[in-house]
Structure 1
């Protein structure tokens, strides 16, 4: 498939109406739009927290999680919808500047920008390809200083962000929804989600599904293996769940989550979790203890488990000490992933401790 040029975009969606801040905020609120970058925070609440005036809008299209590619697909195929959403956000915030942050240049976006003459020009900025570089304070810090590291939880960018001005950082899928709601109003807005499906599926990729679609239906569309029994929901900072418990749930139950990885039968969940934990430790900004020391430690603990050395007591002590302690939420995701792996793969942990291997790793050896 190819991107929609401006003419095709307008033929599908029509022109973007000019609505004032009060109307836009009400429609976005009534439509129930939440952030799609991972946090799932109500978008209208975040918009209202930005003082109108000389504010700034930052569109986050970096998508650092290797298990997710929904934002890249959206920018490739429907860049004008995202660019429209940026303009809606600038009106809702009274913003005078806008940036679109990506990990690499996107030809569809560049071509789309060349077709437009927007009230608030959008500047595309390429951000270093690091996991924490797409955290909202890291983006604001990078735009101001060239250093893509988080700066802490207070003050939030909506209060004092880029150049000391109130700054809205919003995921590109969320912004695309702004563009749709601005056209249809909340009463006719059709709520869909983009979800990336990987792992033991015949047709991996990005799907657009109606809101509250059960995970079972999403896996069926992707051709999920009937024998794979475990799902990672939410990528590197996500949660492992048994398939039997996850399938009845609608993806929208956790509105910020946008990826499903169906673990192949031939892969050890403890081993994959260990590999992800080491990757997360390597992606740390190295600014605070939980990331610098805690993440490598729990990754090493999982290595011990794989080798048959009992590290469960250490993990039980360490994991609660890391959650909520970082300058950003990077350690929180690692803790969530590790804790869920210990629950879901408890039998595999016991097999490793008893024999130094589980069924899958023994077969690989």
Structure 2
């Protein structure tokens, strides 16, 4: 147990006793309101790494990597000539996600507090906030105000992200900060060891940093008071359907999927014919399994899925799962960095095959899709082909009846011929 843990953290303000609304509290740009809700950010150092580890905080950008471990590796890799770099990643190139934008507009000070805490923990003096271009000017003003008022002495450079799907990948972020166009790098060493200009670099999603800011204030026990024993804390979830994004909600890990879907207005459970969990690189879940699953790695792992970045795209019974899948693959084929064969040639071929499956259907077309997915999996310069292949394979499982129906010229969702 560290000295930080032996000294009891101050009790959280009454508004922070909720097990649901910890990050999305509506403070906005108002620093005074932020202070009223959360109180001051304690002066932290490397001991915060132990607190984050005890809290069980994992990354909220998709990979769910233990935050304490990443911070520890970054700190250990530092030398006098290789001072660490801390990066807040809010790129959000995933079309089905709005959580990062919700945080950067609704709780920007909490994100910046987390960036400051992470920088202090690893000994970084160089910090970046990577954000959609539309928010750069606003966030630069917020950073300037924090320094001018004495709230924060951390110098943060705000950098606009690209708009491609792969631009939020950690090594692509570092590439752009290094003057590149923002393409994923071949990482023989983790960024925490050798990242921006060869310096140890910790890249954390903005939601992860917002959680770290609350842990720095209220401690690991408080953080663990929400969620499950093995997967503590809350997660911000983006809910969407055929008509677009329906909302962004914060909910404890372990919340049943059915409960989360019930937050969508006019969505009776019996009209849902499938759920895509984790976004375009996620996994389709059969409607018959929704009632038995929860928002956690352990629960979703039983069907080969994961919470990812907290994205849930539901499918109504009048939507064709094969059509939605074909549209996603077509989009992903055009979003690659174009630096390897699986992306340049494999993804377009998979998009064509998925379209043929939609139009023609049948086992032969399904086998072609499965073969192409296997061909590109684990062979790319980054994980873009892998995530696409995973999503496609799950579609073949969940929409198997649709494949047969389309071979007969019919569509289960539309109840009639589809050609």
What is the TM-score of this pair, normalised by structure 2? 0.83
Question: Relative to 1, partners in 2 of residues 1:221 and 1:358: Cα closer, same or farther, differing over 3 Å?
Answer: closer
Kept in 1: contact 2:366–2:403 (CA 8 A)? no
- Give 1:200 deviation, angstroms: 6.4
Does residue 225 (structure 1) correspond to residue 268 (structure 2)? The answer is yes
Match of 1:47 in 2: 71
CA contact 2:96–2:238 (8 Å) conserved in 1: yes
| 2:238 alignment partner in structure 1 | 196
Q: Which moved more, 1:313-322 or 1:86-95?
A: 313-322
- Alignment partner of 1:110 is 2:164: no
Instruction: Determine helix, strand or coil for the equivalent of 2:146.
Output: coil
Aligned partner of residue 397 in structure 2, secondary structure? helix
Secondary structure of the structure 2 residue equivalent to 1:116 = helix
In structure 2, what is the equivalent of residue 349 of structure 1? 403
Does the 8 Å CA contact 2:178/2:196 hold for their aligned counterparts?
A: yes
Contact in 1 for aligned 2:279/2:308 (Cα 8 Å): no
Q: Which residue of 2 aligns with 1:11?
A: 36
How many residues of Structure 1 are paired with residues of Structure 2 in the alignment? 364
* 2:254 pairs with 1:212: yes
Give yes or no for contact 2:409–2:417 (8 Å, CA) kept in 1: no
Q: How does 1:1-365 map to 2 (within 5 A)?
A: 3-21=28-46, 23-50=47-74, 51-53=77-79, 54-106=83-135, 108-117=138-147, 118-189=152-223, 190=226, 191-199=233-241, 204-223=246-265, 224-226=267-269, 227-253=271-297, 254-308=306-360, 310-355=364-409, 357-360=411-414, 362=416
CA gap 1:235/1:361 in 2 versus in 1, 3 angstroms: farther
Cα distance change, pair 194–201 in 1 and its aligned pair in 2 (3 A): farther
Output one character per residue of 1:54-98: Cα deviation in whole Å (capped at 9) or x when no partner. Answer: 110111101111111011001111000000000011011111101
Structure 1 residues 219-256: Cα deviation after superposition (integer angstroms, max 9, x where no partner): 11223333122101011101000123133322122353
Choose 242-251 or 204-213, whichever is displaced more: 242-251
CA distance in 2, matches of 1:239, 1:143: 31
Aligned-residue CA RMSD in angstroms?
2.0
Contact 2:96 2:245 in 1 (8 A): no
The 8 Å contact of residues 136 and 169 in structure 1, kept in 2 or not, is answered as yes
Equivalent position SS for 1:296 = helix
Rounded to whole Å, the distance in 2 between the matches of 1:109 and 1:290 is 37
3-state DSSP of counterpart to 2:380:
coil
Could you say if the C-alpha distance between residues 203 and 257 of structure 1 is closer, same or farther in structure 2, counting changes exceeding 3 Å? closer
Q: Is the 8 A contact 1:35 1:255 kept in 2?
A: no
SS in 2 for 1:311: helix
Name the TM-score, length of structure 1 as normaliser: 0.94
Structure 1 distance, partners of 2:100, 2:109, is: 13
Q: CA deviation at 1:317?
A: 2.1
Structure 1 stretches of 5 or more lacking a match?
Answer: none
Contact kept in structure 2, 1:64 and 1:131, CA below 8 Å: yes
Contact kept, 8 Å, 1:81 with 1:176, in 2: the verdict is: yes
Mapped to 2, the partners of 1:76 and 1:8 lie a distance apart of: 14
Q: Deviations over 1:202-222 (max 9, x none)?
A: 992100112211111111122
C-alpha spacing 1:120/1:10, structure 2 compared with 1 (3 Å) = same
**CA contact 1:200–1:225 (8 Å) conserved in 2:** no
**Secondary structure of the residue that 1:183 maps to in structure 2?**
helix
Shift, 1:160, TM fit? 1.0
Distance 2:369 2:286 in 1: 21
> What residue number does 2:302 align with?
none
Report deviation, 1:364: 6.8
Cα deviation for residue 199 of structure 1 reads 1.0
- Distance in structure 2 (CA, Å) of the matches to 1:363 and 1:207: 38
